[in-house]
Amino acid sequence: MSHAATAQPQAIQAFDQLAEGYDDLFTKSLIGRAQRTVVWNVLTQIFQSGDHVLELNCGTGEDALFLARNGISVFACDASERMIQVAGQRLSVERLDTSVQFSLLPTERLSEIERPTMFDGAFSNFSGLNCVVNLRQTAEDLANLLPAGAPLLICLSTRFCISEIVWFLLHGEFRRAFRRCFGHATATVGQFTVDVYYPTVRQLRKLFSPFFTLHSVTGIGVTVPPSYVESWICKHPRLLGFLRAVDAIVATRPLFRVLGDHMLLHFERVQA
């Protein structure tokens, strides 16, 4: 079976449908900005000006453009044609001195990338890899694109999100409260049904070994709630400020860092 055959057609169609409104729905939202800022703070600590980075699941290009503004060249991929089109439109109005290339390419087909030199690092933000069935293959494909010591940062939805559990329990939705806890769930996006997987840190460490070693884990949205709470949080901006301050304290602490909406894992490529 080819890598392309393992990509979820329903997921691609769902994100095609979301593309036009994704930035308004998440990127520009208070919660989206709060969670993305934490990721960006880590990215700018790890990646340096002059680096050439591979981005998986780039969506509308928000992270790629941010890195480019910081002097980092980006080869950004996504399985959704509409997401890539929106990203290209955004790029066309930016005046950047750094190279950004958007490519229609699912994570499952990373082996098709042909480069004369390796990337200096790679990353994937906000749950794109939660829709990939075979992360072991992804790890192997990434290992062939990164030199020893290169950083790999992946941000995934966690298996146990405390704020989500509390939110849905308060609304009497027991099933949705614990939907992540079994490691696999189906999400409905418009008229499409998408399989979503929630690996633990232990599972991810095993899946990415022996190609990568886990360097650190940072909680993203530990107390800042998931994006579907946006309409409520907009009425309580001071509370959001307090929650962001709490996150800054607990985000890297054991236990807390895996109980948020997302977790950011920093791997390093092992010497081949």
Taking the mean position of all CA atoms in its chain, how far away is CA 14? Answer: 16
Per-residue pLDDT at 6? 66
Nearest CA-CA partner of 253 in 218, 207, 226 = 218
Tokens 């800054």, residue located: 248
pLDDT digits (tens, 9 = 90+) for 90-116: 999 998 888 999 999 999 999 999 887
**Are the CB atoms for 251 and 218 separated by under 8 Å?**
yes
In 81-236, alpha helices (H): 81-92, 135-143, 162-170, 174-177, 201-208, 230-233
Q: Which amino acid is at 224?
A: V
* pLDDT in 10s for each residue of the chain, 272 residues: 334 446 789 999 999 999 999 999 999 999 999 999 999 999 999 999 999 999 999 999 999 999 999 999 999 999 999 999 999 999 999 988 889 999 999 999 999 998 878 999 999 999 999 999 999 999 999 999 999 999 999 999 999 999 999 999 999 999 999 999 999 999 888 889 999 999 999 999 999 999 999 999 999 999 999 999 999 999 999 999 999 999 999 999 999 999 999 999 999 999 86
Q: What is the rounded distance in angstroms from the CA atom of residue 43 to the CA atom of residue 233? A: 26
Terminal Cα distance for the chain, rounded: 26
Q: Which amino acid is at 8?
A: Q
Per-residue pLDDT at 2? 39
Report residue 71 as tokens: 């002097």
Tokens 């997921």, residue located: 11
Q: Which residues contact 52 (CB under 8 A, 6 or more apart)?
A: 72, 73, 74, 75, 99, 117, 119, 120
Q: H helices then E strands: how many in the chain?
A: 10, 9
pTM comes to 0.94
Per-residue pLDDT at 3? 41
Report residue 22 as tokens: 């994704």
Per-residue pLDDT at 101? 96
Torsion sign (Cα): 54, 180, 162, 175: positive
pLDDT digits (tens, 9 = 90+) for 32-72: 999 999 999 999 999 999 999 999 999 999 999 999 999 99
